[in-house]
Amino acid sequence: MENEMQALLTDNVNRIFSDAVDKNALDSAERGEFSSQLWEILCDNGFHLLANTDSGAQLADVFAILRVAGRYAVPLPLAETLLGNRWLHNQSNEIITIGEKIGDQITALPWSQSSTRHLGVTRKNELFEISIESSSLRFNIAFEPRGVSNGKLTQIPCEEKPYELMALSRMSLSVGALQTLLEMTIDYVAEREQFGRAIGKFQAVQHNLAVAAAELAAATRACDGAVESIGEARFGLEVAAGKSRIGEAITVITEIAHQLHGAMGFTHEHRLHHFTRRLWSWRDEYGNETYWQSRLGQHIYSLGADHAWDFIATPK
């Protein structure tokens, strides 16, 4: 449940993003241009340090801000810097990026070319920092930079679960983007006319919108459940259930959104693709549905048949 402080934070950051993040900003980001002006605004208002333990904010507030960022498809390594500052006990304005450590390198580093410190997490919830010796630049499906760094790796002690928290960041971003996607689709079918009336009046269209709304509700609750369990023993399992459920919702809602927008939704001039392509990227980062469903299934199997129902039916 949103508290007074969280409402204040999300209202403020919503105003910042609504002023600064439009289609032109997203187009510029996809050309590799880092939004230094937006980053400076966030730093001037202290948003980059909100995840630090001495900030007065809770992690739930941080993920609420990331959900707002998802609503605008904010082209910054915001989740990475917020959590990176927390784990490094950092108070500076430097940009931190985080990716997955695979072998002796760190991959899928958002905006690595604009970041001063590169961290990597493993599926065993280990945290590393790399002293860069060489790097290369790649891009995800949304044409956002995803760097690969090689160099000396140093493990950083972390009492939290960095892999699960990074997965939760993608869940929060995705729920925000899905909200925008549904709103855009509802607005479009109310305006687009066929056979003398808005296509939103047709029963088939209304049915698809209802399906999308139900998927969004399920995704939102799955994300909320994971946020509410931060710091508890069940946190990893809530992330497993939530990341896989949100991945399924992304598949359904993006398909419906493109179907109802028709050919217009596939044009570069429309905003729709900025959200759908980022959603498809976030769906696979820090474990796709198959990975998290497998982890959840392995846990249920380990409980044995006599305890499986208690696990499913008991909230904690």
pLDDT, tens only, 79-99: 999 999 999 999 999 999 999
Determine the longest span between alpha carbons in the chain, in angstroms: 65
Q: What is the pLDDT of residue 1?
A: 54
Q: What is the per-residue pLDDT for 315?
A: 65
Name the stretches of the chain with pLDDT < 50: none
Triad 214, 216, 222: Cα angle to 5°: 105
pLDDT of residue 266: 84
Q: Which two tokens stand for residue 24?
A: 């032109």
- As a whole number of angstroms, the distance between CA 17 and CA 66 comes to 11
Alpha-helical (H) ranges within the chain are 4-20, 23-29, 36-44, 59-72, 78-88, 162-191, 203-228, 235-261, 272-284, 289-303, 305-313
> Which residue shows structure tokens 């980053």?
39
For residue 261, the model assigns a pLDDT of 95
pTM of the model: 0.96
Contact (Cβ atoms closer than 8 angstroms) between residue 239 and residue 280: no
Q: What is the C-alpha to C-alpha distance for residues 112 and 136, in angstroms, rounded to an integer? A: 9
pLDDT given at position 182: 98
Cα–Cα distances (Å) from 22 to 8, 72, 111, in that order, read 22, 8, 19
Question: Which domains does the chain carry?
Answer: 4-155 (no CATH), 162-313 (1.20.140.10)
